[in-house]
Structure 1
Amino acid sequence: MKNLGYYDGKYDLIENMMVPFDDRVHYYGDGVYDATCAGNHIIFNLEEHIERFYNSAGLLEIKIPHTKDELKEILKEMVRNVDGDQLFVYWQVTRAVAPRSHAFPDEKAKLWIMIRPTQIGDPKKLLKLITVEDTRFLHCNIKTLNLIPNVMAAQKAAFAGCDEVVFHRGDRVTECAHSNVHIIKDGKFITPPADHYILPGIGRAHLIRMSKKLGIPVDETIFTVNDMMEADEVIVSSSSNFCLSACKIDGQTVGGKAPELLHKLQEALMDEYLIATKQKEE
């Protein structure tokens, strides 16, 4: 199949799927989601994404209508039935279908899944970024469906001919509109602490582990916009863009001062993906 959708036990092409009018996603964005990629029909880092998904749902008191193992099997089976060497694997849960009311209804949560072709981010691509004041709520550690501030910020980047946004609260850098952001300075990998201001990215976790494996010191600490502008490298990461570097922020040239260290990380992370999806031998 060219793609595949799922809603509450029903499967079809994504363009044919229908969702009940009273699903609370329409009124409140009442749900959480997660996403990753698949290569060679093998879902990358599935265990970690499932754990984060259930954690997000638990923080919003949403009861997912499947066990972790059941959800993993549904995702794996769907991936096997979609054409393509690289796939985008997305799933979300919404609280219920019920008449509009702010208080939680006593109804079963609804699982949604979408599988479609995608491309893994090319590590050779250099990104152009802009900075935007972070005015989002204080639960950014929960991967909720309430993404309007991210959408508006991403549109600002598009208008500016840029690839992504870097959010900051005052001088403190937090994350991007749909990625995490990190810097390399004086041979050290520096990433914002995983508190309520950022999503604990799976890609971020792998960058931290890979840095340590390669002997690169890691510092999970706050850094400022000025620190970022003066860094040796500025790195953007997500579940399908493992380690992309920025060349400009707000029109100013940045990074490019530690290419060997950057390329070492990029190659190691790409190898990790290829080995995990059995596209390369260890």
Structure 2
Amino acid sequence: MQDLGYYNGEYGPIDQMKVPMLDRALYFGDGVYEVTYTRNHRLFALDEHIDRFYNSAGLLQIKLPHTKEQMKKLLEEMVRKVDDDRLFVYWQASRGAGAREHTFPEQGEACILMMIRPGRLKDLGEKVGLITLPDTRFLHCNIKTINLIPSVMAAQRAKEAGCFEAVLHRDGRVTECAHSNVSILRDGVFVTAPTDHLILPGIARAHLIRACKGLGIPVDETPFTVDELMRADEVIVSSSSVLCLGADRIDGKPVGGRAAQLLAALQKTVLDEFERETR
């Protein structure tokens, strides 16, 4: 099988799967999600993604129908059913299905959707362009909710500008990108925004912090500004699909390029970890 979909116990090719119109994901975006990648049919950082999935669901008071171990087993079984060994793996939980009312269903249980298709990590050697945009999202960015319209619009703006990502900021403070975390290298220090309610606690970001500690690179989890971003020795975008990607331009102006060896060491460390875990 080339790809595989799942919805509440039913399996099939993605383009043949159906989702009920009463699923609250459709009319409220009332749900949470996770994404990871595989190599050799092994899911990368699965425990961390599952923990964040359950944390997001808990913050929205969504009752999940499976234990963490059951969810992991289901994902692992799904991955083995697909022919390609390098896969994009997406799963989400909505609050359930019911009449369109803003308040929660009385005895609702989450609807689980999964989607698996061929997908590979981005080449870490590639340099990318970024743009900056005001962060107009809501104030629960730490929850990986499927309410993504502001991020969708920001990502489209970046695409139209010929760039990979949009860096968001609030009153000059850099938060994160449309679908990635953003960090900088400055004077040999890895600087990344704190995991407060304004950013998602990225799995790749956490792995980068761990890589820094292994390499003896100091880590500073404090807010930084757009001006500091533009003057940084390196600008780093991180997510489950890119791990650690360097930027060479923001808003059409050249950035980074002054700590290439440090960036390369970080990229090698996180890529080696991915390959060890998915061996």
TM range (shorter): over 0.9
Which residue does 2:253 correspond to in 1?
252
> CA RMSD, aligned part only?
0.6
The reply to whether residue 215 of structure 1 matches residue 216 of structure 2 is yes
Aligned residue number for residue 272 of structure 2: 271
Partner of 2:65: 65
1:127-167 Cα deviation digits (max 9, x unpaired): 10000000110000000000000000001011111110000
- Whether 2:150 is the aligned partner of 1:149: answer yes
Mapped contact 2:193–2:221 kept (Cα < 8 A):
yes
In 2, the alpha carbon distance for the partners of 1:107 and 1:56 equals 17
Shift of 1:240: 1.9
Per-residue CA distance 1:60-113 (angstroms, 9 max, x = gap):
000111111111011000101112131011100001110100010022210001
Distance 1:108 1:171 in 2: 41
Separation (CA, whole Å) in 2 of partners of 1:177 and 1:83:
31
How far is the alpha carbon of 1:256 from its aligned partner?
0.4
What aligned pairs does 1:6-85 form with structure 2 within 5 A after superposition?
6-85=6-85
Q: Could you tell me how far apart the structure 2 residues matched to 1:50 and 1:107 are?
A: 21
* 1:177-220 deviation line (CA, Å, top 9, x unaligned): 00000000000000000000000000000000110110000000
Query: Which letter maps to 2:223?
Result: I
The amino acid across from 1:66 in the alignment is H
Structure 2 match to 1:95: 95
Q: What's the TM-score once normalised by structure 2's chain length? A: 0.99
Amino acid across the alignment from 1:29: G
Identity of aligned residues (%): 60
| Partner Cα separation in structure 1 for residue 193 and residue 83 of structure 2 | 37
Q: Secondary structure of 1:124's match?
A: coil
Which position in structure 1 is the counterpart of 2:114?
A: 113
CA distances 1:224-276 after superposition (whole Å, capped 9, x unpaired):
00000000000000012110000000000000000000000001111101111
Aligned to 1:182: 183
Q: Give 1:119 shift.
A: 1.3
Hey, what does 2:193 align to over in structure 1? 192
CA distance in 2, matches of 1:198, 1:138: 9
State the match for 2:203 in structure 1. 202
Matches of 1:108 and 1:243, distance apart in 2:
37
For structure 1, the residue ranges without an aligned partner over 5 or more in a row are: none
Q: Does 1:159 align with 2:160?
A: yes
1:238 matched residue in structure 2: 239
In the alignment, the residues of structure 1 paired with residue 153 and residue 276 of structure 2 have an alpha-carbon distance, to the nearest angstrom, of: 37
The DSSP-based 3-state class of the residue aligned with 1:114 is strand
The aligned counterpart of 2:86 is: 86
Aligned AA (1:253): P
Separation in 2, partners of 1:107, 1:155:
35
Residues matched between the structures, number: 278
> Which amino acid in structure 2 is aligned with residue 276 of structure 1?
E
Partner residue in 2 for 1:127:
128
Separation (CA, whole Å) in 2 of partners of 1:240 and 1:21: 30
Residue 131 of structure 2: SS of its match in structure 1?
strand
TM-score (norm 1): 0.98
- 3-state SS, counterpart of residue 208 of structure 1: helix
Q: Give the AA of the match of 1:128.
A: G
Unaligned runs of 5+ in 2: none
Question: Structure 1 runs of 4+ off > 3 angstroms?
Answer: none
**d(CA) in 1 for partners of 2:86 and 2:219?**
31
